[in-house]
Amino acid sequence: MLSAQQSVKETTQLLSQAFLLNYPLKSARYLETFAIEDAAELLEQQTVITTLGLWKYIPPGAADSIFCQLSEQYSNNLLSHMDSHLAAALISRQSDEQQERIFKQLSTALVDDLKELLIYPVNSAARLMNRQVNVFYQDLKASQALNALKQRAFSGQDVMYIQDNDQILVGEVDIADLLKANANTTLLSLAKPVKTTLNALDSKELVIEKFEGYRCRAIPVLDAHQQILGFIRFFDVYQTTKEDLASDMQTMVGVSKDERALSTSWFAVKKRMPWLQINLLTAFAAAAVVGAFEGLISEVTALAILLPVAAGQSGNAGAQALAVTMRGLTLREITTKQWRQVLMKEMATGLLNGLATAVTCSIAVYLWSQSFGLAIVIALAMVSSLVIAGSAGAVVPILLKKLGMDPAQSSSIVLTTITDIAGFMSFLGIALLLSDMLPRG
């Protein structure tokens, strides 16, 4: 009898695990209506991989409450395997004490990545927001939403947000309207359109401008991946900005550790001069590469004419990759641990751009020089130098940020050196290998 009961229990667990694994959205919808303790207990019986599959479908509020009920070991394991942006959004909605407890249990590398995503500028929307946000699916009934709210902390929140099955924000519901609604009324029928949203990195000035323009009581705050992080109330903005506006004006004239437009010349010199000196040394390194091929250049004078073309294209390709990578780091679309993805993408981009540029350039060089060998050299140089430049544009800012340096200030100098050397070395190196095919004089 005991064996049969045990067999039934094991079968039930396997069936529940299969359902959670194969139907993550439906599973999340069921969990949304569970008591918080029951939902946490059910998830703890599953593997972390199973829970990860459905976690992204659990809306903020429910996810936050369930996470707090999970055991320390399970929650830490879950965060360790979770997408970094999803983990950061989850942690950002926890209390400061809870965040410190979580960080003490995680690996140093993971904590560094998460803290990097959680550090927002002082005068940003993320610093003003209320983190206790509640989000529900649009077809949930009013009675179910009220039962869920009773189990959660929503102090000071007079509005909640609703989303569709694709986790897209579709409206907001006043708590007062929810209390008055019929028990079977869906949240979508009670919802009003969300007038506007804020990005976590939006400035305080933009926050004030949106409140003045849209005349709303609260505005949701989203991260770069459109995950809701919290909301800002008009009252909070009024309280925090009335004393800070004057000090904000001071920071515009350079009263900070970093250089501003109105910083003193001496301050600017101290910030810039070390990198200018480094750039001078690296320029000599690029010149040394050209000097190493002095004999070849003197024999094939056409190489001297085409040398700026190879270096110029390499520099432009590197600058494009650098701009995209810097934007991703600044807006927190990527983290330093995603360097492989960024590198592979830019290498592929450099290869395709190099092939296209090589065709155009080789035709032009052949028409100009009537030398098939020179056209082959410039074509191969274009492909190789653009791949190297794109790779450098992706890796350099990420590496500098990982080393604790300012990529915005130093990336361009390091990149210029790499692209110059790559352009010169690719062009002249290939020319040396194919020197028998080149015209003399």
> pLDDT of the chain along its 441 residues, tens only?
445 445 445 545 655 777 888 888 888 888 888 888 888 888 888 888 888 888 888 888 888 888 988 998 898 899 888 888 788 888 888 888 888 888 888 888 888 888 877 888 777 888 888 888 888 999 899 988 888 888 776 555 788 899 988 888 899 999 888 888 898 999 999 999 999 999 988 887 788 888 878 888 889 998 887 888 888 888 777 766 554 444 433 332 223 345 666 667 887 777 677 767 777 887 788 788 888 888 888 888 788 888 888 888 888 898 899 888 888 887 667 878 888 999 999 999 999 999 999 999 999 989 998 888 889 999 999 999 999 999 999 998 889 888 877 676 667 777 888 888 888 888 888 888 888 887 875
Q: β-pairing, 159-163 with 169-174?
A: antiparallel
**Pick from 151, 149, 153, 207: which is nearest to 173 by CA?**
149
Q: Give yes or no for a contact between 36 and 66, defined as CB atoms under 8 angstroms apart.
A: yes
**H or E element at residue 217:** none
**Pick from 234, 69, 59: which is nearest to 133 by CA?**
59
- Cα(119)–Cα(371) distance, integer angstroms: 57
Question: Edge-to-edge strands of the sheet including 169-174?
Answer: 135-137, 159-163, 169-174
| DSSP label of 28 | H
Q: Give yes or no for a contact between 54 and 28, defined as CB atoms under 8 angstroms apart.
A: yes
- Cα(132)–Cα(119) distance, integer angstroms: 18
Q: Give yes or no for a contact between 274 and 259, defined as CB atoms under 8 angstroms apart.
A: no
Which pairs count as long-range contacts for 298-304, CB under 8 Å and 24+ apart, including other chains?
Answer: 299/435, 299/440, 299/441, 300/431, 300/435, 300/438, 300/439, 300/440, 300/441, 301/441, 302/369, 302/371, 302/374, 302/438, 302/439, 303/427, 303/428, 303/431, 303/438
CA distances from 125 to 120, 212, 227, 260, 279 (A): 9, 15, 14, 21, 37
- Cα(86)–Cα(90) distance, integer angstroms: 6
Q: Give yes or no for a contact between 343 and 391, defined as CB atoms under 8 angstroms apart.
A: yes
SS3 sequence of 41-73: HHHHCCCHHHHHHHHCCCCCCHHHHHHHHCCHH
Helices and strands in the chain, H and E counts = 22, 6
Structure tokens at 325: 């990578």
For 87-151, the DSSP string reads HHHHHHTS-HHHHHHHHHHS-HHHHHHHHHHH---TTBHHHH-BS---EEETT-BHHHHHHHHHT
How high is the pLDDT of residue 262?
A: 63
Q: Alpha-carbon torsion 202, 204, 205, 206, what sign?
A: positive
User: What is the pTM assigned to this prediction?
Assistant: 0.59
Give the three-class secondary structure for 231.
Answer: strand
Q: Give yes or no for a contact between 89 and 229, defined as CB atoms under 8 angstroms apart.
A: yes
